[in-house]
């Protein structure tokens, strides 16, 4: 029979009889505390597994972020290319517009010259119908022989230095310089005519300015006039306000 006299005897016996030690441990600690090491080990195992999964997800996330960054870089590159393409298209469109404007300008000048010739050929009828004049003579025009007397007067004025080169040049560039007689008063007069398919403010201003220059050279009134195929209400009002006569001659080649 084993006799226990003190704690040292108990310690010795428990070392000698491990099954006793387990029984006493169960009594003293209870089942939950006995299972604690196993549960802790399981907790560590689960935690390690969770950390592993988190790291894997983070790795996948970093990969996804890297792929997104790559895709964004490609998108930026595509946008830059598209922007460059759009800029080139705009440049091409601008060049096309410029060329079209040049073509339109050439066509307008060509049609304008043809129209001016038509007006000159029919100026006696036009002046009689719209300007109230008769006995029309073309002193300067596109194809009519120039009147030497009127040209001498302009050249003398240019040599005299009393007019600017722009004023003299404006007279040389006039579409028509005419002389005629007023049907109502019988007074002889001169007329400076500008022709334009579509009458604009600049046509009215040129006729008025050039008639004013010629009036100063000749020392007598000169009628400013514009012959056009198309004129709107605003230009009609402007011409009336500026004292410029308007004649409407259709663009067609009838008559």
What is the tens place of the pLDDT at every residue in 101-114?
A: 433 333 344 445 78
Among all chains, which residue has been given the structure tokens 């040389």?
172
Which of 23-37, 109-123, 214-228 reaches the highest mean pLDDT? Answer: 214-228
Structure tokens at 22: 């387990």
Q: What percent of the chain has pLDDT over 90?
A: 47
Average pLDDT, integer, range 69-90 = 75
End-to-end CA distance of the chain: 156
Cα separation, 174 vs 179, in Å, equals 14
Query: pTM for the whole thing?
Result: 0.55
Cα separation, 30 vs 16, in Å, equals 22
Strand bridging mode 188-198 / 222-230: parallel
Q: What percent of the chain has pLDDT over 70?
A: 83
Average pLDDT, integer, range 191-219 = 95
Among all chains, which residue has been given the structure tokens 């600017």?
164
* pLDDT for the residue numbered 176: 94
Which of 3-12, 21-30, 42-51, 236-245 reaches the highest mean pLDDT? Answer: 236-245
* pLDDT for the residue numbered 233: 95
* pLDDT for the residue numbered 105: 36
183 vs 88, higher pLDDT: 183
Strand partners, 195: 227
| Sign of the dihedral through C-alpha 236, 238, 241, 243 | negative
* pLDDT for the residue numbered 255: 47
- Residue 17: is its pLDDT beyond 60? yes
């Amino acid at each position: 029979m084993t006799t226990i006299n003190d704690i040292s005897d108990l310690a010795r016996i428990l070392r000698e009889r491990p099954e006793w030690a387990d029984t006493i441990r169960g009594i003293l600690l209870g089942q939950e505390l006995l299972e604690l090491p196993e549960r802790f080990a399981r907790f560590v195992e689960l935690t390690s597994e969770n950390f592993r999964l988190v790291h894997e997800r983070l790795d996948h996330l970093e990969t996804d972020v890297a792929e997104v960054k790559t895709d964004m870089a490609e998108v930026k590159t595509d946008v830059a290319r598209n922007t460059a393409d759009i800029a080139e298209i705009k440049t091409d469109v601008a060049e096309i517009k410029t060329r079209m404007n040049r073509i339109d300008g050439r066509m307008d000048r060509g049609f304008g010259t043809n129209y001016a010739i038509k007006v000159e050929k029919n100026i006696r009828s036009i002046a009689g119908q719209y300007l109230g004049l008769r006995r029309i003579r073309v002193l300067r025009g596109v194809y009519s022989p120039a009147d030497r007397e009127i040209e001498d007067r302009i050249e003398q004025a240019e040599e005299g230095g009393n007019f600017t080169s722009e004023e003299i040049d404006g007279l040389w560039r006039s579409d028509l310089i005419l002389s005629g007689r007023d049907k109502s008063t019988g007074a002889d007069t001169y007329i400076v005519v500008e022709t334009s398919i579509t009458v604009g403010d600049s046509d009215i201003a040129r006729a008025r300015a050039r008639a004013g220059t010629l009036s100063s050279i000749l020392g007598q009134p000169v009628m400013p006039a514009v012959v056009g195929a198309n004129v709107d209400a605003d230009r009609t009002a402007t011409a009336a306000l500026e004292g410029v006569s308007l004649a409407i001659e259709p663009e067609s080649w009838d008559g």
